[in-house]
Amino acid sequence: MPTVCPSARFPERGDTPGASPSRRVCERTKLPISSTARVSPLLAGASRHHRSLGAPISLSTANRVNDERSPLNRALLVLLATVLVTGGAWLWITLETSAADRVPVAVAGGVTAALLCAAAFLAALRHHQIRTATDEVAELRAELDRLADDTLPAAARRLREGASADTVFTEIPLPGNETHERILRTLTKEISVGHRQRAAAMAACANAAGRVQALATSMLADLREMENRHSEEVLGDLLKLDHSTAQAGRLADSIAVLTGARSGRRWTKPIVMESILRGAMGRIRAYQRVRIHSASTSAIVGYAAEDVMHALAELMDNATKFSAPSEEVHVYVEELHTGLVVTIEDGGLGMKPQALERAKTAVSTSETLDLTKLSGTRLGLAVVGCLARKHDLHVFFRPSSRGGTGVVVRVPNQLVTQQRQEFPDTAPQPAVPAANPVRQAFASATHAAPAQDTMTAVLDGEQSQAPQRSLPKRRRGQTLANSGQPTPAPRPQHPPKPRTDAGARFGAFRQGTSRNHRPDQGPASPSANPDS
């Protein structure tokens, strides 16, 4: 059996990892150190004590045992040196003293030498203990800094990415101190539990929002069918329910956006900007105050049309809520080489600097969603921010020329396209079914509504006589004579009876919003819910 050094130190952090055991030698005796006998007898006792308690010995524990022996050894060396010096001095003084005074001088010298040796030993021991304690405190402080600055943030980041607590423990470096390791494990497990609870709550909210979306879609479909079936006496009430259901659907879409679920439907074809604006306007409560100024012929790609419509609806809703009821909200559309620019201006009181900074942060594409900063009644800007980060929309705030706040939304080029070109169908067309008598009466009752009625939206560049919805589909500007379809029956010349009820008012809005609607432009009802 090879000779093993009994005083071999425990390997520290500075040791070369992976070195062969046969090449390790003691620094003092130059004897080889066996891989199974690198621990001193005192360290072996400490290891047995730890194993009896059920805790494995760690590297920091081994270093601490060696550090506890080091001050004592150094103090003994100081004591030995002091004994040699004082003993030699005492012996020399005693021999140089006369025989008569030698005994008292020897006694006094011996007591003095003993006191000096004891004082030197205690001073050396205390000095080394203080130095060791200072080093330990510095090491603990450095390890705490690493734990707070590196280890815990790395663990929290991996937990946010979806890793489990056990996986995190295998990936991050664990601290050498056992107490710090217990703290790290406790915090990591608590953070993991919090993330799991948050994910479960978000999934439950997303599921509830999806069910509300489905119910709203079903209700809108039933309401549209009832609007076509029932008489004009109940049309106003049905349109009110249609509009309220559309607002409930928008709220469900907002919750779905905040929880990371899918919002609304995905269109398979581009939706023209005019229908996007009308759909957004129909989803807010005070749609009567919105004035749209648009001559754009561009369209939004189908997969982003619903989200762009939703974002514009939230901004229009904010503009109507934070301005006087008598003020109008104006929406402008401009085509640039960088995309489409939609400007929404209101005539409110403006925004304070603190509120403006919060709004900019909420819609910023570089900020992540923080649900703790949301208010229970103000979700609009947070929803706009989520949609902006999803589709790279750029939202800016500026003072409005009307005295309030202006919001500028830039839709990037990758979301902007042109409407699909449609060619006339050469196949024989089926006969046009007879018009619904209820709809004929409804059209004749709303024909006399003024063009500037407050329930209709004003569109710049809109043609005064637009074609009605009929087959085949045709391009804008094509006359009824060229379309090959029979012209509708002439409207009655006698003036209709004036109506002031809700049916006439909502009928005027419906007639105004559906006047220039084409089958390829998406929704055109007051609610303009694409899901229906």
3-class SS of residue 381: helix
Let me know if residue 379 belongs to a domain: no
Let me know if residue 158 belongs to a domain: yes
Q: How many domains does the chain have?
A: 1
Question: What residues are paired with 481 via a beta bridge?
Answer: none
8 Å CB contact between 267 and 305: yes
Let me know if residue 48 belongs to a domain: yes
Query: Domain containing 137: what range?
Result: 39-176
Taking the CA of residue 264 as centre, how many other CA atoms within 13 Å lie in the half-sphere pointing to its CB?
29
Longest dimension (CA), the chain: 155
Neighbouring C-beta atoms of residue 503, cutoff 10 Å = 22
8 Å CB contact between 186 and 213: no
Let me know if residue 171 belongs to a domain: yes
Tell me the per-residue pLDDT of 241-289, one tens digit each, with 9 for 90 and over: 999 999 999 999 999 999 888 777 778 899 999 999 999 999 999 999 9
pLDDT tens per residue, the chain (532 residues)? Answer: 444 444 444 444 444 444 444 344 444 444 444 433 343 444 444 444 444 444 444 444 555 555 555 667 777 787 788 788 878 887 887 787 777 777 887 788 778 878 888 888 888 888 888 888 888 899 889 988 998 899 999 999 999 888 888 899 888 888 888 888 899 999 999 999 988 898 898 899 889 998 998 899 899 999 999 988 888 888 888 999 999 999 999 999 999 999 888 777 778 899 999 999 999 999 999 999 999 999 899 999 999 999 999 999 999 999 999 898 999 999 999 999 889 999 999 988 888 888 889 889 889 888 787 777 776 667 889 999 999 999 999 999 999 888 889 999 999 999 999 876 554 444 444 443 433 433 433 333 333 333 333 333 333 433 333 344 444 444 544 444 444 444 444 444 444 444 444 455 555 555 554 444 443 444 444 444 444 3
Let me know if residue 10 belongs to a domain: no
**Helix locations, 178-295, DSSP H:** 178-229, 235-258, 273-281
Cβ partners under 8 Å of residue 293, min gap 6: 330, 331, 332, 333, 458, 459, 460
Let me know if residue 418 belongs to a domain: no
Cβ partners under 8 Å of residue 117, min gap 6: 79, 82, 83, 86
CA distance 289 to 455: 8
What is the C-alpha R_g of the chain?
A: 43
In 294-448, at which residue ranges do the beta strands (DSSP E only) sit?
A: 298-300, 329-336, 339-345, 394-399, 405-412, 416-418
Let me know if residue 172 belongs to a domain: yes
Our CA angle for 342, 348, 349, nearest 5°, is 125
Is the pTM of the predicted complex or chain greater than 0.95?
A: no
Residue 121, CA distances (Å) to 77, 107, 116, 126, 128 in order = 9, 21, 8, 9, 11
3-class SS of residue 186: helix
Question: Which amino acid is it at 274?
Answer: E
Tell me the per-residue pLDDT of 318-351, one tens digit each, with 9 for 90 and over: 999 989 899 999 999 999 988 999 999 998 888 8
Report the pLDDT value the prediction gives residue 261, as an integer from 0 to 100: 82
Report the pLDDT value the prediction gives residue 411, as an integer from 0 to 100: 95
Let me know if residue 530 belongs to a domain: no
